[in-house]
Amino acid sequence: MSQKVAMVTGGAQGIGEAISRRLSKDGFAVAIADLNEAKAAEVAAAIEKDGGKAVAVKLDVSNRDNFFAAVRDVADQLGGFDVLVNNAGLGPTTPIDTITPELFDKVYHINVAGDIWGIQAALEQFRKNGTAGKIINATSQAGVVGNPNLSLYSSTKFAVRGLTQVAARDLAEENITVNAYAPGIVKTPMMFDIAHQVGQNAGKDDEWGMQTFAKDIALKRLSEPEDVAAAVAFLAGPDSNYITGQTIEVDGGMQFH
């Protein structure tokens, strides 16, 4: 059987890097797609050094043409296309009165439109090859319950959960599943930046900013990117074949339903 191919957007650092490394360990050929081409290439090289198969592609997820071209390129280079992880996202700290039209456009284009373009581009390949593909979108615990100071970000992540449900229904008859993962407070550049901003806005330090989020974690530790990658590996693999339209919360017990 030929090696399955997964593409991870925002794969150059943080959660996306951990997902790329984990999917490689699970046997996927991996495409690391990121705005930061140099860092994506470093991750691809590290995976290859560990014996995996990986390529780096430059991608701006907010550009539809770029997304279609990148997916075609990956399918050509790696000989197929089975899984898309729509992981790239922006997480600015935005008290409600600070949101500008420019910031709204930027964040919605990356966090929401980017996922739509990704689904469309992956669909083109799945249809071409008759693949029972899997699409996996990054939402957040902040897309399950509104978080203070993150109105713009939180609202995009609510939208991603909605998009995941609708796409799952629309694509089910083509045997394509669409699911999402909702991380909690993960040790990545994005989260350290949010903690810094929230702390600074309150006249406090970064640790105080982090604790405003971390105090709600039942398991009493911040998340490693690998915690999230493990859940994404499940959604990318065959054990999740009968699951679609769902969001898996990987937050150490922050949100309960």
Ligand X SMILES: NC(=O)C1=CN([C@@H]2O[C@H](COP(=O)(O)OP(=O)(O)OC[C@H]3O[C@@H](n4cnc5c(N)ncnc54)[C@H](O)[C@@H]3O)[C@@H](O)[C@H]2O)C=CC1
If binding is defined by CB under 6 A, does position 152 make contact with ligand X?
no
Active site (annotated) includes residue 153:
yes
Q: Measure CA 222 to chain center.
A: 18
In the bound state with ligand CC(=O)C(C)=O, the residue whose beta carbon lies nearer, of 32 and 185, is 185
183 is in an annotated binding site: yes
**What does 59 interact with, of ligand X, ligand CC(=O)C(C)=O, none (CB < 5 to 8 A by kind)?**
ligand X
In terms of Cα–Cα distance, which of 184, 183, 164 is closest to 243? 164
**What does 254 interact with, of ligand X, ligand CC(=O)C(C)=O, none (CB < 5 to 8 A by kind)?**
none
71, 83, 219, 222, 243 from 185: Cα distances, Å: 30, 25, 12, 6, 25
Among 26, 36, 42, 217, binds ligand X (CB under 6 A): 36
Among 12, 44, 59, 194, binds ligand CC(=O)C(C)=O (CB under 6 A): 194
99 bridge partner residues: none
SS3 51: coil
In terms of Cα–Cα distance, which of 86, 108, 111, 92 is closest to 15? 86
For residue 89, the minimal CB distance to ligand X (Å) is 3
If binding is defined by CB under 6 A, does position 140 make contact with ligand X?
yes
CA atoms within 13 A on the CB side of 189: 10
Beta carbons within 10 angstroms of residue 211's beta carbon: 16
Piece of the chain touching ligand X by CB under 6 A; list 22-30, 44-52, 180-188, 235-243: 180-188
Q: Which residues are catalytic?
A: 153
Q: Which residues bind ligand CC(=O)C(C)=O (CB under 6 A)?
A: 91, 140-142, 147, 185, 190-191, 194, 213
